[in-house]
């Protein structure tokens, strides 16, 4: 399985809902641009699946090197996508803002060849009325234009971290809970909800038609591993085994609220 990390920078002055397009040539669709060297690895790895990794804002390829290495150790050779897949399936694996960027990309450029979409700590739901959309309207537009599991042929899985429950600034709770609460309120309108410190759980799930999974004790970004007061993130060696099966599984692995690895299906609305 091959993977490519795709950047998420836009250009100033570009309309909010099209800022991401500055990095993606219009003539290049997902199957053309991301046809990979999966064929080269299929003979010795027994797989024909490509994986595209879409990073979050302010992240770069280096932030995902450890995750790529973990996937490679699991038989998913992680290299730049350079050659043709020859029709092999593709999983779009996204983190943070890469989630809505991926959804908009598939809407505009097509989703040919992509059969799995997996998001890690991505804000999908727009904020309620009265709360400023921190994406300058992109989430609202995305939700209106391609809601939920929009493409019927794609298996969508949205994964949320439950690192800490937020708290009102004037209420009870520690400093981290209050700081997280401020961020949660700006994203979903509520401070006292669980989340990965950056993205609140209610915003991280796609809703109708998608599988929703919660991961206990998981922080939002790679910086969590570097600071003692945070913890493992979605790409940590201890966390990847808890969600990696969603990359190519045809059916979700049954989980319950008290599973040993702290994973749970969060009121899945898959139909």
The DSSP secondary-structure symbol of 206 reads -
Q: What six digits make up the tokens of 113?
A: 């060849």
36 occurs within a structural domain: yes
Asked if 113 and 38 count as a contact pair (C-beta separation under 8 A), the reply is no
Residue 12 lies in a domain: yes
Using the 8-state DSSP alphabet, how is residue 117 labeled? Answer: E
- Encoded tokens for 8: 């998420």
Determine phi and psi for 227, rounding to 5 degrees. Answer: -115, 130
107: three-class secondary structure by DSSP: helix
Residue 16 lies in a domain: yes
What is the rounded average pLDDT of the residues 136-143?
88
The tokens describing 104, both together, are 């908009």
Residues shown for the chain? 271
Band the pLDDT of 261: cuts 50, 70, 90. Answer: low
Q: Is the dihedral of CA 31, 32, 33, 39 positive or negative?
A: positive
- Is residue 160 within 8 A of residue 202, CB to CB? The reply is no
208 occurs within a structural domain? yes
149: domain CATH number?
Answer: 3.40.50
**What pLDDT, on a 0 to 100 scale, did the predictor assign at position 90?**
82
**Bridge partners of residue 119, in order along the sequence:** 94, 158
Burial class (CB in 10 A: 0-12, 13-18, 19+), 57: middle
Distance CA 92, CA 111 (A): 10
Residue 243 in any domain: the answer is yes
First to last CA, the chain: 28
Stretch 34-58: mean pLDDT:
55
Task: Give the tens place of pLDDT for each residue, 182-226.
Answer: 999 999 999 999 999 999 999 999 998 999 999 999 999 998 888
Under the banding of pLDDT at 50, 70 and 90, the label for residue 241 is: very high
Percent pLDDT > 90 in the chain is 42
Q: How many domains does the chain have?
A: 1
Q: Residue 248 has what pLDDT?
A: 79
- Rg of the chain over Cα atoms, rounded to whole angstroms, equals 18
Q: How far apart are alpha carbons 45 and 43 in whole angstroms? A: 6
Q: What is the pLDDT of residue 27?
A: 33
DSSP calls for 161-196: EE-EE---TTSSS-HHHHHHHHHHHHHHS-SSSEES
Which residue range(s) make up the domain with 244? 2-160+200-265
Residue 42 belongs to a domain: yes
* pLDDT of 161 above 80: yes
176 lies in some domain = no
Question: Does residue 130 belong to any structural domain of this protein?
Answer: yes
């Amino acid at each position: 399985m091959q993977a490519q990390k795709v950047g998420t920078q836009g250009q100033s002055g570009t309309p909010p809902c099209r800022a991401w397009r500055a990095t993606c040539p219009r003539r290049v669709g997902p199957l053309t641009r991301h046809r990979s060297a999966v064929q080269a690895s299929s003979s010795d790895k027994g797989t024909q699946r490509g994986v595209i990794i879409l990073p979050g804002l302010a992240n770069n390829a280096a932030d995902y090197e450890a995750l790529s290495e973990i996937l490679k150790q699991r038989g998913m050779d992680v290299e730049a996508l350079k050659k043709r897949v020859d029709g092999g399936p593709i999983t779009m694996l996204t983190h943070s803002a890469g989630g809505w960027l991926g959804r908009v990309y598939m809407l505009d450029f097509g989703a040919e060849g992509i059969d799995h979409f997996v998001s890690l700590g991505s804000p999908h739901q727009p904020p309620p009325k009265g709360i400023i959309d921190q994406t300058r309207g992109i989430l609202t537009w995305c939700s209106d234009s391609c809601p939920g599991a929009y493409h019927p042929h794609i298996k969508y899985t949205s994964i949320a971290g439950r690192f800490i429950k937020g708290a009102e600034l004037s209420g009870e709770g520690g400093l981290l809970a209050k700081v997280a609460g401020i961020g949660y309120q700006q994203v979903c309108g509520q401070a006292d909800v669980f989340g990965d410190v950056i993205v609140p759980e209610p915003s991280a799930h796609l809703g109708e038609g998608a599988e929703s999974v919660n991961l206990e004790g998981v922080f939002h970004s790679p910086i969590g591993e570097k600071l003692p007061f945070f913890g493992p993130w979605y790409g940590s060696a201890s966390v990847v085994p808890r969600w990696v099966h969603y990359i190519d599984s045809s059916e979700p692995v049954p989980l319950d609220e008290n599973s040993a690895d702290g994973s749970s299906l969060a009121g899945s609305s898959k139909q």
